[in-house]
Amino acid sequence: MGSEQLALLGPGRVQARDRSCVPFRPRKDVLARFAGKVVRTETCWWWVGAVSQGGYGAFAETHDAVIGAHRWALEVALGRRLWGDEVASHGCDEPLCVRVGEGHIRLASQAENIEEMRARGRRVGRWALDGRSRADRSREIRAAVRAADQAGTDPVAAAAQAAAAATRRLRRSSAASDPGERHLRLPLT
């Protein structure tokens, strides 16, 4: 069974893989701590906490366990941990997004995710950034979203503006250093 089918089945219906059936229900205080680092908009839900070396949100689930924020969000939504080659795949191209659902984060296999990133890299270029450049881009978007949220202005517009500026600038420096396949090595995904 492909992971798309698994995703459609949803939590609790996946019989073939024992470990995926272990329920995952974080404590309320952990959920609240996570929610406190998210700015929800009508498009993406922006992670404004720590950023990983690869440009993803990084959530300290416990004092000694840091996990990709987007991955954790998907695990909460599924009610179970991801395992094996399962990944949380972004349909919205935004590494900081932690919104699970149509057009944002979904369950995918590693192979599907790599194929999607390649396709997106060709289309918009942002996934062709190397990890450090993508982390720079994410930190700039995080700053813009935080500032807009605190000022009561539109975080979506702020994120779009920051993203456009960062992508233009970083794409140039990234192209100069030939990122090659390095973008596929993603910590915390």
Cross-strand partners of 106: 89
Going through the chain in order, the beta strands assigned E by DSSP cover: 38-40, 45-47, 58-62, 65-68, 86-90, 105-109
Query: Could you give the CA distance from residue 132 to residue 103 in angstroms, rounded to a whole number?
Result: 25
Residue bearing tokens 């949220």: 149
> How near is the Cβ of 44 to Zn ion at its closest, in Å?
3
Hey, what are 164's tokens?
């456009």
- Going by C-alpha positions, the residue among 174, 149, 145 that lies closest to residue 160 is 145
By CB under 5 A, the residues from 86 to 105 that bind Zn ion are 92, 94, 97, 99, 104
- CB of 91 or CB of 121, closer to Zn ion: 91
> Please, what is the minimum distance in Å from the beta carbon of residue 120 to Zn ion?
13
Residue 15 to residue 28: CA distance in whole angstroms: 28
String marking each residue 26-55 x if it binds Zn ion according to CB under 5 A? ------------------x-----------
> Smallest distance, Å, CB 94 to Zn ion?
5
DSSP 8-state class, residue 51 = B
**Pick 21 or 43: Cβ nearer Zn ion:** 43
- Total binding residues for Zn ion by CB under 5 A? 6
The least CB distance from residue 169 to Zn ion, in Å, is: 22
Shortest Å, Cβ 184 to Zn ion: 21
DSSP letters along 55-98, please?
SSBEEEEETTEEEEHHHHHHHHHHTB---TTEEEEESSS-TTB-
Q: Is 6 a binder of Zn ion (CB under 5 A)?
A: no
What is the smallest separation between the CB atom of 9 and Zn ion, expressed in angstroms?
23
Look up residue 134 and give its DSSP letter: H
Nearer Cβ to Zn ion (44/74) = 44
Q: Which of 135/163 has CB closer to Zn ion?
A: 163
Q: In terms of CB distance, is 6 or 141 closer to Zn ion?
A: 141
User: Which residues form the interface with Zn ion (CB under 5 A)?
Assistant: 44, 92, 94, 97, 99, 104
